[in-house]
Structure 1
Amino acid sequence: MEPFLLTGHVLAGILFLGPMAVTTSLFPRLAAVVADAATERDGERSAAPAQLLHRITRKHGVLTPAAPVIGLALAGAQDRRSEVQIVAAMDLTAAAGGLAALRTMPGQQESLQTPVDSARLTWRTRILALAPVIGGLFTLVNVRRRGHR
């Protein structure tokens, strides 16, 4: 059972978390393109790439909790749920997931609905800039976990 859970945990992280982290990181740059596209008349710029990134972020974000859930089941199967590194990994994962769900995804949606010119990107840019924090938290989970086996 443990090899199955470990494989599921790793695959969920790669297939769901990885794309969400990448699209979340790429979105802020394209938010300015969306803003400029609203004022472009020749049609060279398009909001479609930013909309695609938001869709990927949203859909993969729904599936991403599979990785920590399977990881928690694996920790239970190995009787390691109370170890400090497991508890820290779960806390960091919850923080990153909370930032993504409560700040980044709504910020992306608002940026797509009400674009402003790229010179005046306001608090939305700061919220969207949380992407590196989210990626850093998930990286810290993996580095922390690998260093204490």
Structure 2
Amino acid sequence: MNAFLLSVHVLAAILAIGPVAVAASMFPSAARLASDDPKKAATVQILHRTTRVYAVLGALVPVFGLATGARIGVLGNAWLIVSLVLTVAAAGILVGVVLPGQKRIVDALGSDRPAPVRLAMPTGIFNLLWAAVVVLMIYRPGSTTGVGL
């Protein structure tokens, strides 16, 4: 059961967080191009929808992560607690800054006053937080399972 939960957790991370990271990273430059060429607005809309839909699916990642952690008895380990804090921070940036910013930009496409595109930095921070979580999940400092480096 542990291997199954861990497999689902890793697959959810790859299949849900990966598309969010890519679509959110592509959005700022696509939005700038769409502000100059209205024919490119569909790309921006698709990137926003991809970010939004996969962000919802990304909620499965910590759910299966917590289930896995509970099964193998590591919920109190520092590396897992730090990972959870970083996950909450990444989710906060995504839900509180990136998605609303994308929505404002999508809503402003084609209007007389396009919204400024200022999402590269929060998107980069979101991606760096997830990269740190991945490193913690692999390295697991202080882990007693013997899987760390």
Q: Could you say which TM-score interval applies, normalised by the shorter chain?
A: 0.7 to 0.9
Unpaired segments of 5 or more residues in structure 2? 142-147
- Give, in whole Å, the separation in 2 of the partners of 1:138 and 1:116: 33
Q: Considering only aligned residues, what root-mean-square deviation do their CA atoms show, in Å?
A: 1.8
Q: Distance in 1 between matches of 2:132 and 2:110?
A: 34
| Equivalent residues in 2 for 1:1-149, closer than 5 Å | 1-38=1-38, 45-115=39-109, 122=116, 125-147=117-139, 148=141, 149=148
Q: What SS is found at the alignment partner of 2:73? A: coil
8 Å CA contact 2:9, 2:65 repeated in 1 = yes
Identity %: 33
SS in 2 for 1:81: coil
- Using the size of structure 2 for normalisation, the TM-score is 0.86
The residue matched to 1:138 in structure 2 has which SS?
A: helix
Q: Which whole-Å CA distance do the structure 2 matches of 1:24 and 1:46 have between them?
A: 16
> Are the equivalent residues in 2 in contact too, given 1:30–1:49 (CA < 8 A)?
yes
1:24 offset after TM fit, Å? 0.3
Instruction: Please list every run of at least 4 consecutive aligned residues from structure 1 whose deviation after the TM superposition is greater than 6 angstroms.
Output: none
Per-residue deviation at 1:116?
A: 8.2
Aligned to 2:144: none
Report SS of the residue matched to 2:118. Answer: helix
Amino acid paired to 1:18: G
Alpha-carbon deviations, 1:74-112, whole Å to 9, x = none? 000011101000000000011001110111011001101
**Greater relative CO (CA pairs within 8 A, separation 6+):** 1
2:108 and 2:50 map into 1 onto residues whose CA distance is 20
Q: What 5-or-longer segments of structure 1 have no aligned partner?
A: 39-44
SS in 2 for 1:47: helix
Query: 1:41 maps to what in 2?
Result: none
CA distance in 2, matches of 1:116, 1:50: 12
Alpha-carbon distance, 1:114 to partner: 1.1
